[in-house]
Amino acid sequence: MALQLLLDFAEATSAGNGCFKYRFDRHTWAEAMQATGASAKLDRYRNIFAIVDQRDLAVITAGWLN
């Protein structure tokens, strides 16, 4: 669920080698919380990220930002 939320709402930036990095910023996180009606239960996912191959949308790696 957290990964799908990330891919649906987070900002994508170039990560090089044909990949994008998805991560939430203040605005995209607020938009995701408003759209899902979620509460503080999802706050632990605020700092997740994913590297995604732009050709086939395969998730290369995912994790937490410090």
Contact 62, 49 (CB under 8 A): yes
**What value does the mean pLDDT take over residues 15-28?**
96
At residue 40, does pLDDT exceed 80?
no
Among 22-26, 33-37, 45-49, 60-64, name the one with the lowest average pLDDT.
Answer: 33-37
Alpha helices in the chain (DSSP H): 2-9, 26-36
Q: Write down the pLDDT at residue 36.
A: 86
At residue 43, does pLDDT exceed 90?
no
Write down the domain spans for the chain: 2-64
Question: Alpha-carbon distance 54 to 51, whole Å?
Answer: 9
**What value does the mean pLDDT take over residues 36-48?**
83
Q: Write down the pLDDT at residue 66.
A: 79
